[in-house]
Structure 1
Amino acid sequence: MTSFDHTKYTPFKPVAITNRTWPDQTITKAPIWSSVDLRDGNQALVEPMTVDQKKQFFALLVDVGFKEIEVGFPAASQLDFDFVRWLIEEDQVPDDVYIQVLTQARPELIERTYESLKGAKKAIVHVYNSTSTTQREQVFRMDMEGIKQIAVNGAKCVKDHAAKHPETEWVFQYSPESFTGTEIDYAIEVVNAVAEVWQPTPENKIIINLPATVEVSTPNRYADQIEYFCRNVKQRDSMIVSLHTHNDRGCGVAAAELGVMAGADRIEGTLLGNGERTGNMDIVTMAMNIYSQGIDPELALGDMDRIISVVQACTLLQVHPRHPYAGELVFTAFSGSHQDAIKKCLANQTDDKPWDVAYLPIDPRDVGRSYQEVIRVNSQSGKGGVAYTLEQEYGLALPRWLQVEFSPIVQAFAEKDGGVVDAESMKNLFENNFMTGTTPYKLGKYDLAKDDVDTVHAELTGNNTSVKITGNGNGALSAFSEALGKHFNMRVDIIQYQEHALTVGSDSQAIAYVQANIDGDRFNGVAIDNDIVSASIQALLATVNQKVTENSDSAVA
C-alpha cells in the first residue's frame, strides 16, 4: 500500500488547440544552438567555476562551434562582470560569436549589464521576468497588468541603453520565465507588449525564449503550447522563437525536439545536461539525435573525450557511464548475443553503405570511440573474477573502466598459456601493462604551487638525461598534464581518475588510476606511493610513457 498522497497534486491543464500540425513534422535542419553552460549551468554547481575554468569552458564552446554563448549574469556577480570584461578587453570572442548576458527586468541591473558589455562587437541582452500564476500570486503579489508592466519597462530600458552604444551589434531577447506555468494567452499578451517596445522586423529579429523553467507536463503538451504561441503571437516573422527546457520529468530533450517540430527556431541548453535540479536540456544528446537521422548538427562533437574531460574538470561532475552518446558504456555490449550480432553487422558494413549495425545507433568512431570498446567481456565471462582476485589478494580495487581494459589482457594470456592464471601472474600482467611510470621516464623532484591556478615544476629522468618541465592547471593533475603535453608535444586529456588507500592505517600507501586520451589514443596508468598527489602524477606519467614507447616503436618499424 503506497504512503503517497497523490491528491495534493493537480494535473497540468493542456492548451486548447485544434488541428495541431506538429505531430506530422520532422526535424530537417539543426536549430540555432545557444549554450548556457557558463551561466545557467554554472549556477547549478556546488562549487561555481573559477575564472580559469570559465576561460577553459568558453574556449571549448567556441571550438565546438557555438555562435551564441551565454557568459553570465554580470549585474548579479562581480565574477561574471569581470569575466565579461576579460572576454571583451582581451579580444577573446570570435567575430562571428554573440556573447549573451542575462539580467532581470530591473533598471539598475540593466544599466550594470550594459557597463559590462562596453566595447563588445556582438551581444545578446537577455532580459526576463516571471509571469507564472504561482509567482504572480505568491511571490510578487501582483496582478497581470503589474507583471506585464515590469516586462514593458524592462524592454524600454534595454532599448534605451543599447541606443547609447551604436558601435555594438545588439540583439534583444525576452523570456517570460516559467512560461509553462503561465496562462498561454497572457504569455502571448506580455510578449506582444515587449515586441511593441522593441519594434522588430524580419531583417532585425528579436529572440523570444519560452522556458520550461520547471518541466510540468508531457512533451506533447509543451509542443502544443509552442505551436499555439507561434500561431497567435503578433509579428511572428520578426521573432526567433527559442526554447529553454529543463529535465524535471526526464523529458528535457524530448520536449525540445517536439518544440522544434512545433515551430521553434532556437535551443538553449548545456553540454551533457548540467543544470538545476535534474538538469538542463542536453545539447550533446539532442545534436547527436539529429546527427543519427542524417542531419548536420552544425556542432563539432567528434572529440567526445575532450568534451567530457573539459566539462568534468570545470563542473566537477562525473558523466554517467550510460549517458547517451558520451557515456563510457553506451556502445558496449556485454550480452553474448548482442556481441555476435554486432560482429556480423560490422563484417558487412562498408564505407559506401549507410550505417546499419545492430544495437549501435551511430558509428562509435564518429565520437572518437573504437570498436574495441564496443565488444567487451562482462563479469560472467571473466572481468568480475579478475577484479575480485586483485582486490582480495593485493587490495587493488580496479575501477570499472580499468577492469574493462585489463580483462582482455588476462584472457589473451590464459588462452596462450593454458587457460589458468594465478593471482601472481595476474598481478605481473597488471604491473607490466599499466604501472609504467618509470620507463622510459621517471619522476624526480617536483613542487606544486597553489594560487589562482596551480603550477607544477617537475624533473623527469630517463634515456640518460634529465629535463625540467612546468605546467599550470586546476589542480596538480591538470597542471602536470599540461607540463607533459608541452614537453612531449602531445595533447593529454584526462578522461578518468580514481584513487584509494591500499590498506587501513596512517602508514597506508595510496594507489591512483588514470585514463588519458593522448593525441587521440587512450592509455591507462597506475602508480602506488605514500603520497596521493605523487601517485596521481606518476600514474599520468605512466600513460605518457606508454605513448612515448609506442611512438618509438613506430619510428623504429
Structure 2
Amino acid sequence: MAVRSNPSTSGRYAPPATVALENRAWPSRTMSRAPRWLSTDLRDGNQSLVNPMSPDRKLAMFDLLVGMGFKEIEVGFPVASQDDHDFLRMLIEGDLIPDDVRISVLVQAREELIKGTVESLAGARAATVHLYNATSPQFRRMVFGMSRSECKDLAVQGTRFFLKYADRLLGDCDLGFQYSPEMFADTELDFSLEVCEAVMDVWQPEQSRPIILNFPTTVERSTPNVFADQIEWLDRNLSRRENVCLSVHPHNDRGTGVASAELAVLAGAQRVEGCLFGNGERAGNVCLVTLGLNALTHGIDPGLDFGDLNGIRRVVEWCNEIPVHPRHPYGGDMVYTAFSGSHQDAIKKGFDARSRAVADGADPATLAWEVPYLPLDPQDVGRTYEAVVRINSQSGKGGVSYVLSSRQGLELPRELSVEFAALVQRTADEWGREIEPDEIVRMFLTEYASPRFLTVPVTFRKPVPTTLHVQGDPFVVGSDRADSLGDLGAHLASWGLRVDEIRRIGAGAADAVRDGVVVYADCTIGTRTVWGAGSAASLDIATRSAVSAAITRALRTSQPNREPARQPLLGAA
C-alpha cells in the first residue's frame, strides 16, 4: 500500500522551545549513583488501567514494591477515590507499612481536598503529601481561565492549607511535602521557578524539613536534551538548593521517557518517579525496571532487587491485567534471545571465554561481564542461559552448538557443527517454525549417535582414514594409555579403518561428560566425509560406538533422517 504524506499537517505542530543555557554541564557528566526512586504504580499507574486494581491486587503490588526495596511509594489519591482512601486506611490500620518505607498521597491545591487528604493519613508514621496544580499557558488559558498570578496564588494557598491542617491533625507523623507544577515541560521556565520559590517561601525548607520539587513531563513533547536543559537551569537557579530534592516524573509520549529521566539525572535531578514496566497514562510513565537495570549495567547499584525479574513481571501483569511486551528491555520474554546465526556464534564464543576464565580460577561472581549482544548477565535477573539462543531458519552453527553444549555438554568439532547446523536450518525451513532445544538434541542423536555396534563384517577396498575427536577423557597420546589406544587402533583396523589422528576438544559441562568420554569419529569413505558420535564411560567403548554410527550413516541409501525421533540421551545406551 502506498503511503502518502500530507505536507500541510506538519504546519499544525510547533517545535519545542529551547533553553538558553550557557556552558551546560550535563553532556559531559556520567551517572555515579542511582537516584531516589518513587513508584507511582498504585496511583498514576492504577488510574490508567481499564480495570483499576482490586484491593487484593493493590496489596500484591504494594508487597512487591516493598520486597524490591522501594522506600517511597505513592499509594493513591485518597480524596479522589473511595477505593484509594480505603486502601490507604487498610495499610495504616493494618500496620502493613514497614518503618523504613514512606508512603505518598496526591492532592490538588484546594482546601477541602487538602483537609480530607491530611485526615486520611491519621496514624501514619511517615508520609508525604504531594500537592500539585497545572501551570502551563495552555491550562491557564483553556482550562482554568487564570492569569499567572492567580495560578501562583493557587499553589501558595494550597501550601498554606497543608501547613494549617498538618499542624492540627498530624503532630506525630514524620510528614513530608512535595509540590509539582503539573505540565511543567510546557510551562515557561521563569514561571515554574517563580511558583516554586513562592511555595518555598511558605514552606520554609531547611535541613530538618526539606521539600521535594517535582517536575513532570506530564505530556512528553520535547527531545530529552531539552528536558535536561530545563532541569539543569532549575538546578542552577532554585534557591535553598541544599534543602530541595529535585525530582522528575517523565512520561513516554514520544518514546523517550527513559532517556529523558537519565539525562535529567545528569542535569541535577536527585529523584525519579515512574512505574514498573512503564505502565501509566497514554504511552505510560517512565519504566523503573529499565532505569534500574540500565544503572546496574553501568556498575551502579540501583538499590532495588531485580533478582527474580520473571516473578516481578508476573505480579505486575496480574495486578495491571496488561502483558509485558516480549521485546520490553530486560523483562521481555525474548530480550535474552538470539535467532541470528552470527549473533549466536558470538554469544557462544563469549560464554566459552567465560568458561575458560573460570576454569583458570576466576570467580564468576566478580568476573567482568563481557558477552557479545548481552549487556546484562541473564542470571543476575533470575533468567537462565537456556533461552538465550533459539533456533529458526536464520540460525547458524553457533546457535546449534550452543544448544547442544548447554543442554548436553557436547562440544562439537567445527566441521561437524557446520554440517549439523545446515541440517537444522533445512529442517526449520521445511517445518516453517522455530525448533525447540529438545528437538535439536533428538535430531542430533537420531542423525549421528547410533547406540548399537556393527554386528556384521564391513569390508572397504582400502583403509578408511579416520580422525577421532575426544571430549571429556583426560588422556595424553603416548602416555601409559598407549597400549589401550594401540588395542583400539587394532580393533578398528579389523573393521577397515585407519586411525590417523586423535584430537582433544573441550571437556564440556554436562554430567554425562564429566565422568565419561564423548568421541566424534570423522571417517573419509570414498569422497564423502561421514561423522558419527558415541558416549560411554571408557574411551574404547565410546570410540567403537562413534565409528559404528559413522559407518551406519555411510551405508544408508536414503537421505538423512530429519524427523526428531524419541531416543535416549547420548550415553544412556
Question: Please, what TM-score do these two structures have when normalized by structure 1?
Answer: 0.71
Does the alignment pair 1:2 with 2:5? yes
Structure 2 SS opposite 1:99: strand
Q: Is the 8 A contact 1:383 1:407 kept in 2?
A: no
Judging changes above 3 Å, is the alpha-carbon distance between structure 1 residues 387 and 177 closer, same or farther for their aligned structure 2 residues? farther
Matched AA of 2:201? E
Deviation at 1:177, TM superposition (A): 0.2
Matched AA of 1:13? A
Structure 2 SS opposite 1:8: coil
Over residues 442-467 of structure 1, what are the superposed CA-to-partner deviations in whole Å (9 max), with x where a residue is unaligned? xxxxxxxxxxxxxxxxxxxxxxxxxx
Judging changes above 3 Å, is the alpha-carbon distance between structure 1 residues 220 and 383 closer, same or farther for their aligned structure 2 residues? same
Judging changes above 3 Å, is the alpha-carbon distance between structure 1 residues 261 and 151 closer, same or farther for their aligned structure 2 residues? same
Q: Is the 8 A contact 1:131 1:182 kept in 2?
A: yes
Q: Is the 8 A contact 2:392 2:428 kept in 1?
A: no
Judging changes above 3 Å, is the alpha-carbon distance between structure 1 residues 413 and 180 closer, same or farther for their aligned structure 2 residues? same
Deviation at 1:414, TM superposition (A): 2.1
Which one of 446, 451, 474 corresponds to residue 417 of structure 1?
Answer: 446
Q: Which residue of 2 aligns with 1:155?
A: 159
Matches within 5 A, 1:119-518: 119-164=123-168, 165-349=170-354, 350=358, 351=364, 352-380=366-394, 407-418=436-447
Matched AA of 1:214? V
Q: Which whole-Å CA distance do the structure 1 matches of 2:103 and 2:285 have between them?
A: 19
Q: Which whole-Å CA distance do the structure 2 matches of 1:224 and 1:46 have between them?
A: 35
Over residues 15-53 of structure 1, what are the superposed CA-to-partner deviations in whole Å (9 max), with x where a residue is unaligned? 111111111111100100000000000111111111110
Deviation at 1:310, TM superposition (A): 0.3
Q: Is the 8 A contact 1:202 1:239 kept in 2?
A: no
Judging changes above 3 Å, is the alpha-carbon distance between structure 1 residues 388 and 308 closer, same or farther for their aligned structure 2 residues? farther
Q: Is the 8 A contact 1:274 1:280 kept in 2?
A: yes
Does the alignment pair 1:22 with 2:26? yes
Q: Which whole-Å CA distance do the structure 1 matches of 2:442 and 2:292 have between them?
A: 42
Which one of 102, 105, 115 corresponds to residue 101 of structure 1?
Answer: 105
Q: Which whole-Å CA distance do the structure 2 matches of 1:387 and 1:67 have between them?
A: 51
Q: Which whole-Å CA distance do the structure 2 matches of 1:39 and 1:229 have between them?
A: 26
Over residues 169-193 of structure 1, what are the superposed CA-to-partner deviations in whole Å (9 max), with x where a residue is unaligned? 0000000000010000000000000
Deviation at 1:233, TM superposition (A): 1.4
Deviation at 1:116, TM superposition (A): 1.2
Structure 1 SS opposite 2:436: helix
Q: Is the 8 A contact 2:341 2:394 kept in 1?
A: no
Matched AA of 2:6? S
Matched AA of 1:361? P
Q: Which whole-Å CA distance do the structure 2 matches of 1:325 and 1:254 have between them?
A: 16
Which one of 55, 64, 67 corresponds to residue 63 of structure 1?
Answer: 67
Matches within 5 A, 1:28-107: 28-107=32-111
Judging changes above 3 Å, is the alpha-carbon distance between structure 1 residues 328 and 387 closer, same or farther for their aligned structure 2 residues? farther
Q: Which whole-Å CA distance do the structure 1 matches of 2:161 and 2:141 have between them?
A: 25
Deviation at 1:386, TM superposition (A): 7.4
Deviation at 1:302, TM superposition (A): 1.0
Structure 2 SS opposite 1:417: helix
Q: Is the 8 A contact 2:53 2:319 kept in 1?
A: yes
Matched AA of 2:385? Y
Structure 2 SS opposite 1:49: coil
Deviation at 1:418, TM superposition (A): 3.6
Q: Which whole-Å CA distance do the structure 2 matches of 1:386 and 1:83 have between them?
A: 52
Judging changes above 3 Å, is the alpha-carbon distance between structure 1 residues 141 and 93 closer, same or farther for their aligned structure 2 residues? same
Deviation at 1:345, TM superposition (A): 1.0
Matched AA of 2:376? I
Structure 1 SS opposite 2:391: coil
- Structure 1 portions without partners, runs of 5+: 391-402, 420-557
Structure 2 SS opposite 1:332: coil
Structure 1 SS opposite 2:178: strand
Q: Which residue of 2 aligns with 1:437?
A: none
Structure 1 SS opposite 2:14: coil
Q: Is the 8 A contact 2:339 2:394 kept in 1?
A: no
Q: Is the 8 A contact 1:378 1:384 kept in 2?
A: no
Deviation at 1:3, TM superposition (A): 2.1
- Structure 2 portions without partners, runs of 5+: 359-363, 396-423, 449-573
Structure 1 SS opposite 2:96: coil
Q: Structure 1 or 2: larger strand share?
A: 1
Matches within 5 A, 1:505-544: none
Question: Please, what TM-score do these two structures have when normalized by structure 2?
Answer: 0.69
Judging changes above 3 Å, is the alpha-carbon distance between structure 1 residues 120 and 387 closer, same or farther for their aligned structure 2 residues? farther
Q: Is the 8 A contact 2:216 2:249 kept in 1?
A: yes
Q: Where do 4+ consecutive residues of structure 1 move more than 3 Å?
A: 379-390
Q: Which whole-Å CA distance do the structure 2 matches of 1:387 and 1:202 have between them?
A: 67
Structure 2 SS opposite 1:153: helix
Q: Is the 8 A contact 2:16 2:222 kept in 1?
A: yes
Deviation at 1:97, TM superposition (A): 0.4
